[in-house]
Amino acid sequence: MGIYIIQAGDGGPIKIGFTNVDPHGRFHTIQSHNVTKLVLLAVFDGDRQREKELHHRFAKSHLHGEWFSPDDALLKFIAKMPKPPEPKGRQKWNTLTEKQVARAKRIWFNKSIPTDAEAARQIGRHMVTIKTNLGKSGRTWRLTRSAAKEIGRKGGEASAKTDQRKPFAEVQAIIDANPTLTYSELAEKINEDATYKKPWHVSTLMYWRKKRRIKLARRNAGRQPRAPH
């Protein structure tokens, strides 16, 4: 969707972020995790690269993450940016026209869309609302990597972004070939190949073991000792 700029309170820190969904929805998500009253200052066109450029431009006022102190340079930049649009009100489901419901059904039951979340985003309604009115989509929890890449979708675990991490088959081969390595040593060995941008962490190995995508036996040896008191 574009770049959004949020400020915490009156004169508080400012967040510069990117979202590919409704900026008002993203704003409410951030507000739900923040005690301070937030204000949506600006919304304008941009992508991840534009977001990085702005973070670099205002690096001197950087606080942490995507938050910056409201110095003069940043405030002058914000003053030139367009004000955020008014939030779009959603039409109640029972007031939708037959044409709108038919469109929602085509999207919801389209098996080429990898996830329910992506289908709901295209429809423009919450997943719970859609399931209540149309029932379950019947879509499996993920597509194969090759199918997701062919479709070119960008949502859920079927995303083509899985190409940024070493494939499961290669990870399993490393695990099988090194039965004595600890979890940390396994993760380090898996990430030796710099071809892939996204690393495998110990938590990632544990997650995919739980999902039964990889077989990973318990490894008691070499656990990190507790820090001294």
pLDDT of residue 71: 92
pLDDT of residue 120: 84
Task: Decide: helix, strand or coil at residue 38.
Answer: strand
pLDDT band at residue 211 using 50, 70 and 90 as cut-offs: confident
pLDDT (average), residues 173-198? 84
Q: Is the pLDDT of residue 124 over 60?
A: yes
When mean pLDDT is compared across 7-11, 150-154, 209-213, the lowest value belongs to 150-154
Closest CA to 126 of 1, 19, 5, 22: 22
pLDDT (average), residues 170-192? 86
| Chain segment 1-22, per-residue pLDDT in tens | 689 999 998 889 999 999 887 7
pLDDT (average), residues 177-201? 83
H or E stretch covering 190: helix 183-190
Q: At what angle do helices 202-210 and 183-190 cross, to 10 degrees?
A: 100
**Cβ count within 10 A of residue 178:** 13
